[in-house]
Structure 1
């Protein structure tokens, strides 16, 4: 029997699913690999493959619920993923059953032509096509993978985590930060976007980012609304020497440069720094770029302000990275929390007396947020936390008892959600008011 011609996007989507679920490789690593699933796909097929794979990952347990009544036991992983993909297309996307079932059978036949798998796929998906769409529409948000979910429930409780799961299933719109915030209304009109309370723009159906108005001229960059807040938490930075301590890919560096700061953008990764340089070139903004280890970096002159968006578990970004819950182990964060503490201590040492330090992580876990700041205050006598209660665009429910911001994926649900973030501002002894104390160079 001749090998069937496979739909390239579906085949690539299955390869992506196998990479995440069996090989524990992120979607980003797979799509960037020169010999990965996308190597022979046209751009449109790549985009479709990624949409299919991310959709299945967001709704994996719901896909399995659609399949479960029609399977005596789970098939082996490759066939299971073909069934999941078919269930997602039939139930979530409403694709025509004939085309979905035919394509899935071809994929199964290519996977194992001598087995009974093609017949199984055909029979199961025909049943799913009959019953699944109505069941899917009534199903609650798919639960996150059990180990990942358990770690979040321990902190937030089941009810809140259900809200996280709803945000995870819904995905994320496209948020933009403007080089010139005063042009928000202009660009909102040109892009068909809404202006957010934080001053950025939000698009619900953006399409290809590089083809949008304003991209080529660098009028904006992609940045979740939550991720735009840490740089703003530094306060006025005009003329200030500011260190962006873990800078790549550069969204916060661009914000600080656009706000008039003299920015030193530091990162340890050559590849990530290359993206930062590209973003600076596209937007026409300037920063000193340094490739170095933040734990050992030394500067001749202390900085007026430092932004430390530290490496973390990234648990707050599940709306944008549906593969992350399948890859991240929350049972032991000791290496990450030790790195965060070391970077915090180094940042304090690089900050001038009276300067402000903002510590942020895109994490939902107190060990990477509230606990880190409490420990840093204990280690550094005189260091003080500065409340962020007056940060424009923030909401009262985001504020913690200590004056930090704790953002969650279920916030702003009516607007399309937010990434989870923890943001705290700290000041060295001598602090009066950032941007106004003598010798700050920022007034």
Structure 2
């Protein structure tokens, strides 16, 4: 009598791995972002019934695979005599999921192997590869660490086009440091409304030189102390810097272009600015409004295309913050799917959009007003080159360099021209879990 294959609900942990396989397939084969598949209307339907612990495991599993995809490919290629199965995507996913757990996660090897085998057994096209998956992952448990060590310094976990660009622009040593930083799972950064020392203690974290609080606490963010009470919001420490470059904004009219999900809007509102926040995405703006309500902060939130929006402010704004859409290559440590969803050809298209948004921002700025332009990209075309082009075309603008005192002990983040440039390898720490920043560029201009 044939053995009945257990359903995902009957085997602890199998549902989490099945959903991880679906989401991985969504990124690698259907070009869907992790955010789209984890939250909102496009989220995987299975997440609704997944316990919090399994949900956290699934997220970490997918992120680990995407963060180590090149190294995983090397290891599996050495263990597969005939290459990766091409006619059964679930077999590929099962191998990646099993190997990632064996090599980098605190999962017993036998459990990683067993659950990956069950994963292929439950898929009609992949079931014939159950024996292969079992054999390869058992070999991975024995030989995998040595195979990883063979390529430790080769930067395999970034697409070749990105590695080539970073070496050309930043030099090989810094490119290697950035690649190493991206390989570590990042901690949770938050911006607090008041008393960062108290919240660092309550959340078992530390206060960074930037003023953000960094914590290693895991689990559901809304369940952490202070979230429901509106005492803080999630925001990478680097992302919290650009809004501060506008200086004292109390009582001033500030326009936040491309504002959602609203971390910078919240900063400006907390500092006493009269904020107008613009974003074209209704769903993301709904999230911005929810965040402001939770934080008991006020801003005028408008759903509109920033390039087309017509202001009713006849005098122009005292300050404008433009966090422009970009390739987001600076956020790969937090969003490892970006590395595999972006292509080099995306840069030129986004540079054109950034140029239009900058021109729009300049037209809305009052004389004497400040414009802070920022992107979470490490590509110079979207940062330094964009501002150089704007200054050449707009004689009425000038750069307002960032002073060392504005960043305290982080003056190393200021470039030659007085602009801000953060890298994933910045903010080193003895414990790599406490290290790193998103890659950001920011320039401050005055009309």
Q: Same fold (TM over 0.5)?
A: yes
- Partners of 1:164 and 1:4 in 2: CA distance: 43
| Aligned residue in 2 for 1:432 | none
| Aligned residue in 1 for 2:188 | 174
- Partners of 1:365 and 1:314 in 2: CA distance: 9
| Aligned residue in 2 for 1:119 | 131
| Aligned residue in 2 for 1:10 | 17
Helix, strand or coil for the counterpart of 1:413?
coil
| Aligned residue in 2 for 1:427 | 446
Helix, strand or coil for the counterpart of 2:105?
coil
| Aligned-pair Cα RMSD in Å | 1.9
Question: Residues 113, 254 of structure 1: CA spacing in aligned structure 2 closer, same or farther, 3 A cutoff?
Answer: closer
Tell me if the contact between 1:31 and 1:37 (Cα under 8 Å) persists in the aligned partners.
no
Query: Is 2:76 the counterpart of 1:57?
Result: no
| Aligned residue in 1 for 2:11 | none
| Normalised TM-score (structure 2) | 0.91
Question: Residues 71, 298 of structure 1: CA spacing in aligned structure 2 closer, same or farther, 3 A cutoff?
Answer: same
Tell me if the contact between 2:181 and 2:425 (Cα under 8 Å) persists in the aligned partners.
yes
Q: Give the alignment of 1:221-236 within 5 angstroms.
A: 221-236=233-248
Tell me if the contact between 1:16 and 1:37 (Cα under 8 Å) persists in the aligned partners.
no
Query: Is 2:142 the counterpart of 1:130?
Result: yes
**1:150-190 deviations in Å (ceiling 9; x for gaps):** 3433333333222222121102111111112xx11111121
Tell me if the contact between 1:94 and 1:133 (Cα under 8 Å) persists in the aligned partners.
no
Shift of 1:233: 0.4
| Aligned residue in 2 for 1:26 | 33
Q: Give the alignment of 1:257-272 within 5 angstroms.
A: 257-272=269-284
Shift of 1:138: 7.4
Query: Is 2:386 the counterpart of 1:386?
Result: no
Helix, strand or coil for the counterpart of 1:307?
strand
| Aligned residue in 1 for 2:388 | 374
Residues paired across the two proteins, number: 426
Question: Residues 207, 94 of structure 1: CA spacing in aligned structure 2 closer, same or farther, 3 A cutoff?
Answer: closer
Helix, strand or coil for the counterpart of 1:424?
strand
| Aligned residue in 2 for 1:78 | 90
Question: Residues 35, 211 of structure 1: CA spacing in aligned structure 2 closer, same or farther, 3 A cutoff?
Answer: closer
Question: Residues 176, 90 of structure 1: CA spacing in aligned structure 2 closer, same or farther, 3 A cutoff?
Answer: same
5+ long unaligned stretches in structure 1: 429-443
- Picking from 424, 430, 440, the partner of 1:409 is 424
Tell me if the contact between 1:30 and 1:37 (Cα under 8 Å) persists in the aligned partners.
no
Shift of 1:339: 1.1
**1:58-105 deviations in Å (ceiling 9; x for gaps):** 111222233222212222243122111111111212422222222111
Q: Give the alignment of 1:318-329 within 5 angstroms.
A: 318-329=332-343
More moved, 79-88 vs 217-226: 79-88
Tell me if the contact between 2:327 and 2:346 (Cα under 8 Å) persists in the aligned partners.
no
Query: Is 2:57 the counterpart of 1:45?
Result: no
Q: Give the alignment of 1:260-409 within 5 angstroms.
A: 260-299=272-311, 300-301=313-314, 302-389=316-403, 390-393=405-408, 395-409=410-424
Question: Residues 393, 138 of structure 1: CA spacing in aligned structure 2 closer, same or farther, 3 A cutoff?
Answer: farther
- Partners of 1:409 and 1:124 in 2: CA distance: 34
Shift of 1:331: 2.8
Tell me if the contact between 2:181 and 2:436 (Cα under 8 Å) persists in the aligned partners.
yes
Tell me if the contact between 1:312 and 1:336 (Cα under 8 Å) persists in the aligned partners.
yes
Helix, strand or coil for the counterpart of 2:240?
helix
- Partners of 1:96 and 1:125 in 2: CA distance: 12
- Partners of 2:119 and 2:346 in 1: CA distance: 38
Tell me if the contact between 2:52 and 2:220 (Cα under 8 Å) persists in the aligned partners.
no
Shift of 1:397: 2.3
Tell me if the contact between 2:120 and 2:127 (Cα under 8 Å) persists in the aligned partners.
no
